[in-house]
Amino acid sequence: MHLPVPAVCGVKVTVFRDALRRLLGRSNRGTVILVLGHHQLVVPDPEHPAYTPTVSPEYAEQIRRWHERACAEGIATSLSDQVFDYLGASIVVPPQVMPITPMSHLLSEAVLAEVRAGERVLDMGTGNGVNATLAASKGADVVAVDINQRALEAGQANVDLNGVATRVEVRASDVFSAVSETFDLIVFDPPFRWFRPRDLLEAAMTDEGYQAMTRFFRQARQHLRGQARMLIFFGTSADLGYLQRLMAEERFTVKVVAHDDLVRVGWRVEYFTFRLT
């Protein structure tokens, strides 16, 4: 829950934000979040204003059309459970949970290549739990979080089904709200679009104003330890320029470790798995 912000501009906010930072004992840039029990006080940072698209209005409209098509296809296929035999795992995806897509392997294969036995892995926005399952199958200890209760149930069912439940803790969390630990690897396939979602399934694909993705990047470093790294999946049917801005602002070194494209309705969309250190 987000409580109202007492003041949103000028000196008052700066003083209030700095006071909050002192209270929190950390100096994360961007939105400041104070967690009070189950409540969050979110204070926008004037130095990092709210999201505005980095793409042209024409390109944004093209993304919206692509999104509507993806939603229509998702809704059509989400009336019953889907079963995937995927990279050695069996994954069951109920309605209202993001299915495995033709491009999912770009992230999953990177997870399999990256994870070492004994590492601690955070699967942010775990969805059906596929990447948590794969990381655990390589001997990692995994925390898998999501805001979608159906996803959490599916994730738990899939780690049970694949015999890795002792290595995976499935937990409800709005980005890092219920995560205090540090990790060797964080994996995130964020919602690509920035429109307001209309239902749970669409909330897997769209994050209004990239609020969740922005909070993720502002807070991620506090949850990385040692030689930690992150694997982030994104594409050009999203505002890739905004993601690049967030990665640069948080001073991550970025390498593309997987790349492919898909042509649909005459539009070539590129997908990337980025490795961040």
User: What residues make contact with ligand SAM under the rule CB under 6 A?
Assistant: 98, 104, 107, 125-128, 130-131, 145-148, 151, 173-175, 189, 191, 203-204, 207, 212
- Minimum CB separation from ligand SAM for residue 118, in Å? 22
Q: Where are the alpha helices (DSSP H) in the chain?
A: 10-24, 57-77, 105-114, 130-137, 149-161, 200-203, 211-220, 240-249
- The DSSP secondary-structure symbol of 105 reads H
Q: Minimum Å distance from CB 132 to ligand SAM?
A: 8
Of residues 13 and 135, the one with the C-beta less far from ligand SAM: 135
Joined together, the tokens standing for residue 225 give 């330890």
Which lies closer to ligand SAM via its Cβ, residue 22 or residue 39?
A: 39
> Least separation, in Å, of the C-beta of 128 and ligand SAM?
6
Distance CA 234, CA 131 (A): 15
Q: Which run of H or E residues covers position 23?
A: helix 10-24
Determine contact, residues 76/138, Cβ cutoff 8 Å.
no
Of 239, 35, 42, 224, nearest to 124 by C-alpha is: 224
Between CA 72 and CA 79 the distance in angstroms is 12
The residue among 204 and 224 lying less far from ligand SAM, judged by its C-beta, is 204
Distance of CA 224 to CAs 19, 148, 182, Å?
A: 25, 24, 5
Our CB check for ligand SAM shows the closer of 14 and 94 to be 94
Taking the complex as a whole, how short is the minimal distance between the CB of residue 9 and ligand SAM, in angstroms?
25
Nearer to ligand SAM, 177 or 244 (CB): 177
Residue 46 dihedral angles phi and psi, to the nearest 5°? -60, -25
The CB-of-121 to ligand SAM minimum distance in angstroms stands at: 12
